Structure 1
Amino acid sequence: MPAELPALSAIDAESRRLELATSPFELHGALCGWLAGGGASVREWPAKVLADDAIAAPAEGGALDELRLASASQLDDRSFDFALLLPDTEASLAERSGALFEWCRGFLGAFGLAAGNRQKLSEEGQEALADLARLAAAQPQDEGDEDDEEALVEIEEFVRVAVLLLHGDCVLAAQHRQRLN
């Protein structure tokens, strides 16, 4: 069973200590984009995913280190138990959708850094990446009804599956090809 993500409050506190100018949601999206694009799971991941070598490595065993280890474990696990770091369901629709769109923005940037132009995406992977780009450009709405709540849950599930698909295209397929050669 893959590891669980650390508490949002712990991630936020360590991000502030490291003076990272990004939300925990965008940061987790960036980490997952980096890993899904084939980037290495290394302790100094914030410097890599935020493209800033001046960022110090998180403390070993700290919330950001745990976030990296849990995310890498979840992506590699065959049970599809991958989780997005998002506000809980008690938060407003605007807060939750805004966090999801931030997550997608972080994912896209770091995915591009890790995968570069060497990515060999399936047709489904190309479509998923285009859909994630549309979500990254979206703006949250202030209010919504039950239908909007249901739509957000479906979009979150789509993002989760899209990330697993892209990770499969870029990382798992490459590992499989190496084993065949």
Structure 2
Amino acid sequence: MSKTDPNPAELPAVSAIEAESRRLELAATPFELHGSLCGWLAGGGASVREWPAKVLADDAIPAPPEGSPLDELRLASASQLDDRSFDFDLLLPEADASLAERSGALFEWCRGFLGAFGLAAGASPRLSEEGQEALADLARLAGAQAQEDGDEDDEEALVEIEEFVRVAVLLLHGDCVLAAQHRQRLN
């Protein structure tokens, strides 16, 4: 991502992330990777180029090259989480993808988020009551199975769940990162 990029917080294309993931031989989908990255960052993990090794707990994974799609994903995600306008996006399939593909990707995203959040935040993170509830709800979503087909109500429900996940991530980031920064400034 260059300094002239008009929107440095825009996520790279799923296809670009998928291609680099294959090149680095990562055993995760683009959705799981983004969820893992966001879990790592929301739990207080550092925004470093070596993030795939950290979130996948495998020191043998090389750091993505600077400016590569995975590096751009890190920079955009960190920027979105730190932006107080709450403009945070989940990397998911396009709206015209099937309900099964979209719901499956969302549940993969949640599974990735939970694993990396635990790595970064530790066993007993300082969470608000709302943060504890949000984390429990994300865990339930991570255990869900993709729905093969559905109607308009199912489509609407998926959109609502996506919005819930987005807000839950921002809440957890606030509890673990922003509150910790605030406590540090007070001391």
TM-score normalised according to structure 1 size: 0.98
Structure 2 counterparts to residues 73-92 of structure 1, below 5 A: 73-92=79-98
Backbone CA RMSD of aligned residues? 0.8
In structure 2, what is the equivalent of residue 18 of structure 1? 24
Cα distance in 1 between the residues matched to 2:124 and 2:107:
26
Which of 114, 119, 123 is residue 113 of structure 1 equivalent to?
Answer: 119
- Aligned to 1:117, what secondary structure does the other structure show? coil
1:92-130 C-alpha deviation (Å, 9 max, x unpaired): 000000000000000000000000024100000000000
Structure 2 residue 185 is the aligned partner of structure 1 residue 175: no
The percent of aligned pairs where both chains have the same amino acid is 88
Is structure 2 residue 46 aligned with structure 1 residue 40? Answer: yes
Q: Is 1:98 equivalent to 2:70 in the alignment? A: no
Output the CA distance in 1 between the equivalents of 2:37 and 2:89. 13
Matches within 5 A, 1:48-59: 48-59=54-65
Q: Could you tell me which runs of 5 or more consecutive residues in structure 2 were left unpaired when the two chains were aligned.
A: 1-6
**Unaligned 5+ residue runs, structure 1?**
none
Q: Distance in 1 between matches of 2:136 and 2:19?
A: 33
**Counterpart in the other structure of 2:162:** 156
Partner Cα distance (1:117, 1:52) in 2: 20
Distance 1:8 1:117 in 2: 31
1: distance between equivalents of 2:33 and 2:130? 25
Q: Is the 8 A contact 1:2 1:77 kept in 2?
A: no
* CA deviation profile, 1:6-53 (whole Å, cap 9, x unmatched): 111111111000000110000000000000000000000000000000
Which one-letter code corresponds to 1:3 in the other structure?
A
- CA drift of 1:141 comes to 1.2
Contact 1:28 1:85 in 2 (8 A): yes
Distance 2:24 2:8 in 1: 27
1:66 to 58, 65, 72: 72
TM-score by length of 2: 0.95
